[in-house]
Amino acid sequence: MPFDTRSSPVSPASGTVGTTGFYRFTDVFFEWHQALPNQDDVSPLKALIAYPALVHPDHPLRKPGVNGIELHLGTFESGEMRLLFSSAQLEYLRYYMHTMGLTKEPIPLPSSEYLIQQKDLVHCSPDVYNEASVLKRAIKVRQGRHRGGPRRRGRRGGKRSRRRKCSTNTNLALQTIDKNNKRLKKGMDNILGLRRLIFERVRTLWAAKLGTWCAMDFEAWDRDHTLLTEFGWRLVQWGDDKAVKEHGHLIVKERRQYTQHYVPNNREFYNFGQSLDVDKHEFRDRIRGLIDKHREHGPLFLVFHDHSQDVKYLKSEAIKAIERIDVLPDSPMTGEVYVVDTAELFAALEGDSNNTRSLERVCRHLKIDTKYLHNAGNDAYYTLEAMISMASGDPVDQQREQRWPNRTGDNMPKVEFQEWEEDSDFSDMEGIFGNPVNGANGVQPDADDDEF
């Protein structure tokens, strides 16, 4: 691995070192030390970037308040993901080693040939690791040369690069990112690529505890969808790093006589408190007030399950709560309203570019118990629960493998669910006989209401 001899010495204590790009974790881990000009510098560098050292609480790259080493997960236009170090992290490491007397001079940075710039990525999100074994499983290593990077040359400056065999444990470990990258190379349409991108963006923004996240749901009379009958919401907002939570259910009292014909009549069965009867004018004003109040203090993320109809209701003459709603950006702004769709998030997690699933099926696959759906308050509550379950988990490919191990095909990262998992009629059989022998052994990330 060649070095960038043009790098200028800047003391990390000065605070002027910034991230100008990223380097692949595998390039740093397996190549950087092999081409150091001073062999006395090899052992200190290897010791600092060893798996157990990186996750140790006393590692110099550990950020205050972060429970682990914060690396970066970069997504390329192809949809492939790579685990990355930032250039600022490497700058700090080399000067830390010199300041602590581990090296006589700051070791050179890797060549700019290996630098990945922000423009090369469609998204980059933080990814925290606090266990050496988990960090090992997050990468894929090939003996001698690593996929995805520039081809290494046999000689640089007259010296042949030394190659060392990777550890057997690393090669045999579960290598989720690379396995799914290979599938993506075989073909992925733009819809799935966009869904995966949004999934990682939601993870990043949720972890940042930014703004207000408010799940909403409307119910309308199923014979005339212009007649709104219910509204439900559930929100989380952070103040001084503490979660402020709220939820509720409104019923339009003038329309209590309208009963549903095609979906269950669960208006009276709000699971999480007392429903409030209001007239249609107060119904409209409360919804407007909810949105206006929370967009004043930061970006407002409106969370829906299959958002198209609910957004139409918000824009309709009956409500007129918003004029526009934006697609989720990398840098949300105070006062702006953005849409987050749990149907799309789950499609990214499942690896499906063609379909979206009902809220009931999404919750079933995420191991979230539901009761009395098609009540607007309940639907909003479970929608946010589903969003939190996915957003607080690991990156999309790792999370898929944790929830449904070894359930994807050879060509695309789409989960193959069993019939008993798809059909709610099997639920009674599960209670008596347990899950079928060939069922999933997925891991459910903790989405307890008091954890965020």
Say which range, 7-16, 95-104, 109-118, has the weakest mean pLDDT.
Answer: 7-16
Distance CA 388, CA 391 (A): 5
pLDDT at 139: 63
pLDDT at 157: 35
Q: How many CB atoms lie within 10 A of CB 388?
A: 25
How much is the average pLDDT of 100-112?
90
pLDDT tens per residue across span 181-239: 554 444 455 688 888 889 999 998 998 898 999 999 999 998 898 999 999 999 999 87
Q: How many CB atoms lie within 10 A of CB 154?
A: 7
Q: How many CB atoms lie within 10 A of CB 398?
A: 20
Predicted confidence (pLDDT) at residue 93 exceeds the cutoff of 70:
yes
Residue position matching structure tokens 């700051």:
106
pLDDT at 253: 96
Predicted confidence (pLDDT) at residue 244 exceeds the cutoff of 70:
yes
Residue 133 φ then ψ, to 5°: -65, -35
Tokens standing for 336? 């702006």
How much is the average pLDDT of 320-345?
88
pLDDT tens per residue across span 377-435: 999 999 999 999 999 998 888 899 899 988 876 556 688 887 767 665 544 444 433 44
Q: How many residues appear in the chain? A: 452
Question: Per-residue confidence at 376, pLDDT binned at 50, 70, 90?
Answer: very high
Q: Where are the domains of the chain?
A: 3-180, 206-433
Predicted confidence (pLDDT) at residue 106 exceeds the cutoff of 80:
yes
For residues 393 and 346, the answer to whether their CB atoms sit within 8 Å is no
How much is the average pLDDT of 350-366?
90
Predicted confidence (pLDDT) at residue 440 exceeds the cutoff of 60:
no
How much is the average pLDDT of 285-308?
94
Predicted confidence (pLDDT) at residue 180 exceeds the cutoff of 80:
no
How much is the average pLDDT of 109-123?
83
Distance CA 93, CA 39 (A): 17
Predicted confidence (pLDDT) at residue 78 exceeds the cutoff of 90:
no
Distance CA 23, CA 110 (A): 9
pLDDT at 220: 95
pLDDT at 249: 98
Q: What is the CATH number of domain 206-433?
A: 3.30.420.10
The burial of 254, by beta-carbon neighbours within 10 Å (0-12 exposed, 13-18 middle, 19 or more buried), is given as: middle
CA nearest 365: which of 399, 410, 338, 321? 399
Residue position matching structure tokens 């009902």:
358
pTM: 0.63
Predicted confidence (pLDDT) at residue 146 exceeds the cutoff of 80:
no
pLDDT tens per residue across span 420-432: 676 655 444 444 3
For residues 179 and 80, the answer to whether their CB atoms sit within 8 Å is no
**DSSP state, 6?**
T
Average pLDDT of every residue of the chain: 79
Side chain identity at residue 282, one-letter code: E
CA nearest 359: which of 387, 377, 379, 389? 379
pLDDT at 423: 64
Side chain identity at residue 25, one-letter code: F
pLDDT at 75: 78
Could you tell me which residue, 219 or 133, shows the higher pLDDT?
Answer: 219
For residues 325 and 313, the answer to whether their CB atoms sit within 8 Å is no
